[in-house]
A and B are shown apart, each in its own frame.
Chain A
């Protein structure tokens, strides 16, 4: 990481918002693991590292409901805005949030 870079974020166009199904998710592979992009029933989009804080399950394969996703391996519910575990597992872990912007219907993932 170059500390001299002034703008800390580089943005990459990874596709159209509508490529992600409503109440669904798509993956974007990177050199250090997948990123999951979610689109909720009300049309909002979120990006998290695609690893459940519990046992590393792929969150992109879970069921999206409200602004949350339920991990397919052991049913942890993760809040999409923060990556935090919800309910009885609250406070036990967090899937890191990845910067995401929508510009004219396109999805841009940010790198720091």
Chain B
């Protein structure tokens, strides 16, 4: 039997979710084809803000990867535009000339960002905030230091965009037409708090400001002029003033279109073979731009296209803002009005504001700022229309207080949910799937549930609900994780607690930690074991014996594993200096071992790529003979100290930067750290060694040495912050070693210096290095530790240590087929 052909125009959140809803109900019914204008797989568009802010990567927000399309037999045409729909012939016309026939067609074309018709709209540097291309354009614009951004529109997206740009180091300003930010979701009090919270995060706000003209020079934007004559200079202008349903295709095909494509309660357009979902739709006169209603529509469409019984009756809306540390929730008639009563709670110390709006004894709306954890509860009360008169006194204190005082079991409501009730909207996970995963796979932490089911792994809004399901399934065995993020799924304890207790309780082995801190797995996992091993190495440098089975392969074999299972070898070149003897030895090694690729690295070293694992000890032996040691290019520890030629050669050099770099590297090499540490020393402010994007950098000046910390130039790009200035080379070395030790003792495993600095603050680091006693103590502990670690791991292995790592267990089967 040939299957009916289902064609979907739109590979976004609505299109793919509609397909998922169909597959969930009747996986074999349709032969499915999806067209998407963006040349990539389906991703979570509402999570673009965290991507812009550098808090998530694109990979984190992919909803369906290529395997999903393949596994479900879906033909994905990414980067293909549908040009027309021929409703008589029932085919869609694609821009590559194909005609693709359909039995049922779903329009999920979404919406387009509105571009204000201002003069200067076409200048380079003027963007909208809609898809990954926009985000990439914004990230590129923020890459250079000292750039300024203006965002027109103080709605949800505009604020998230400005926050993301500020996180990336731009000076960001939001220009908003109204007198309150997010006025469609917030009242004046919450709007004020938001303005303040954004200012604290580096985003300025200009309210009641009407844009007049985009200014430019040489085809690039230079600023925005307001109607009142003020000019806001900028290098990037983001327009985030709303969206318009994308209806051109539907209109051209002769479908009924008002503001959006008109659909009935079954999501059917005016053509019975054509359906529509998402932001392109107008249902009962209403267009939606939030994700929850889209999920509701897709569910109905899934029913319609399989059983044929779905009904969509419109959605009640709620909003959350995705700005780290700014907890905002809003729903319903948050602003009150005639016949409404308000219950307001404020806590100035914590920056909390809550307003619950009652109408006729029922919750009609709520706005929460600073503590939005009960948003879901108020939203449920609002949707259910329950009379809240009986517990009105405690209502504003939230669910736990209210139900506790009423003697209710807080898990009763969760227990009453049906198995098919959706818990995680982002990933479409129902209660039943979560409970099954908890019981069948023995999960007992939030992290584990996230790993297995993806529930609450995207925006995190449903986290409290998932925790309740854990509590419901496990009873007292589940301890809700309050406070810090656990080290991994094997424990509910955070990194700080683990580090503190290793020292205070003198825990000196991995099993001792796991026992004392009640690990829930017998021997940990690949996330916690390397972390614990490092914490022990750092805490007990003289006593602890490194557990190599808890090291990642690179640190176990002292080389970098490559995609084909071969390794790369990087010999140390102190401060980037080398000699003809070393180069000759390297050349000989390359020839002798037939090493395919030789490359110069960004840290001024030479990388030998494609070395076979079994050859490693022999390669090292030859390099050792020429006086070279491991460059630790694989280590969570000190990597390289990059230098310029300083006063030795440069006519601008102010100090001996090469000498200082070599001295630092000779003192600090071999030290382990929470993550890799790269240093650089520049001999003058021209900064040829690029010290201001390193973990620790030195800029030499006539009067001494500026010490910089917290730079990065990888996944994130971040300039350093200046820590202090010292007069002598000795002081520079002491200070840098003190910073290194403070970082080694306090950061979380895998946390780079810039992330750690974000968390603890530059001031905390300054306080340590500017107090001579504290600095001295840190320096002494670092020096003590270095007595044990300034040892060449290559030479040890050439001498025979861990030889089993480099030899197979047996060669008896080498020439036999297995």
Chain A: residues with CB nearer than 8 A to chain B? 12-15, 19-24, 26-35, 37, 40-42, 55-58, 61-66, 68, 70, 72-73, 75, 77, 87-88, 90, 92, 98, 107, 109, 111
Contacts and interface: CB of A to CB of B under 8 A. Distances in A.
Contact of A35 (B454, B811, B818): B818
Contacts of B404: none
A31 B818 contact: yes
Nearest to B550: A63
Contact of B524 (A62, A65, A109): A65
Given A19-B809, A70-B525, A92-B67, A26 B804 contact: yes
Interface in B761-818: 804, 808-818
21 contacts: A12-B812, A14-B810, A14-B813, A15-B810, A22-B549, A26-B809, A28-B810, A28-B813, A31-B813, A31-B817, A31-B818, A42-B522, A61-B565, A62-B526, A63-B526, A63-B529, A65-B526, A65-B529, A66-B522, A73-B563, A90-B452
Interface string B202-223: 0000000000000000000000
Contacts of B815: 31
Interface string B441-458: 000000000011110000
B809 A27 contact: yes
A58 B818 contact: no
Interface of B: 67, 451-454, 521-526, 529-530, 549-550, 552-554, 556-557, 561, 563, 565, 804, 808-818
B811 A29 contact: yes
A33 B818 contact: yes
B808 A27 contact: yes
Contacts of B804: 19, 21, 26
A30 B563 contact: no
Given A35-B818, A87-B452, A65 B523 contact: yes
Given A13-B812, A33-B818, A58 B565 contact: yes
A14 B814 CA distance: 11
Contacts of A55: 563
A6 to B, nearest CB: 19
B523 A30 contact: no
A64 B561 contact: no
Contact of A98 (B549, B812, B818): B818
Given A41-B523, A63-B552, A65-B523, A29 B813 contact: yes
Contacts of A15: 809-810
Contact of A28 (B451, B552, B808): B808
A26 B808 contact: yes
B524 to A, nearest CB: 6
A62 B452 CA distance: 21
Contacts of B552: 63, 72
Nearest to A30: B818
B314 to A, nearest CB: 34
Contact of A73 (B452, B526, B561): B561
A64 to B, nearest CB: 7
Nearest to A58: B565
B427 to A, nearest CB: 10
Nearest to B452: A87
Nearest to A71: B526
Nearest to A19: B809
Contacts of A73: 561, 563
A77 B489 CA distance: 13
B550 A88 contact: no
A73 B553 CA distance: 10
Given A15-B809, A63-B530, A72-B552, 14 more contacts: A12-B813, A13-B812, A22-B549, A23-B550, A24-B549, A29-B811, A31-B816, A34-B808, A40-B523, A56-B565, A72-B561, A88-B453, A90-B452, A111-B818
Contacts of A109: 813, 818
A55 B814 CA distance: 23
Given A24-B549, A27-B808, A41-B522, A88 B814 contact: no
A30 B814 contact: yes
A63 B561 contact: no
A34 B67 CA distance: 27
Contacts of A111: 813, 816-818
Which A-B residue pairs are the 6 nearest by beta carbons?
A70-B526, A26-B809, A14-B810, A30-B818, A63-B526, A61-B553
Contacts of A66: 521-523, 525
Nearest to A40: B523
B653 to A, nearest CB: 43
Contacts of B812: 12-14, 28
A1 B454 CA distance: 44
A14 B810 CA distance: 5
A30 B813 contact: yes
A106 B549 CA distance: 22
Nearest to A27: B808
Given A24-B549, A29-B813, A109-B813, A88 B454 contact: yes
A72 B451 CA distance: 18
B613 to A, nearest CB: 8
A98 B814 CA distance: 15
B523 A31 contact: no
B44 to A, nearest CB: 15
A88 B65 CA distance: 13
B556 to A, nearest CB: 8
Contacts of B522: 41-42, 66
B325 to A, nearest CB: 28
B525 A65 contact: yes
B807 to A, nearest CB: 9
A87 B525 contact: no
Contacts of A90: 452
A98 B809 CA distance: 15
A66 B554 CA distance: 21
Nearest to A70: B526
Nearest to B524: A65
Contacts of B451: 87-88
Contacts of A34: 808
A14 B813 CA distance: 8
Given A15-B810, A26-B808, A30-B817, A62 B553 contact: yes
The CB with the most chain B CB atoms within 10 A, among A21, A29, A90, A107, is that of A29
B818 A32 contact: yes
B816 A20 contact: no
Contacts of B452: 87-88, 90
B526 A75 contact: yes
A32 B814 CA distance: 9
B736 to A, nearest CB: 32
A55 B815 CA distance: 25
Nearest to A57: B565
Contacts of B557: 61
Nearest to B525: A65
Contacts of A26: 804, 808-809
Which of A15, A27, A61, A107 is most buried by chain B, counting CB atoms within 10 A of its CB?
A: A61
B815 to A, nearest CB: 6
A24 B567 CA distance: 19
A91 B346 CA distance: 50
A44 B178 CA distance: 68
A67 B498 CA distance: 25
A72 B816 contact: no
Contact of A31 (B454, B524, B814): B814
Contacts of B808: 26-29, 34
Contacts of A107: 809
B549 A14 contact: no
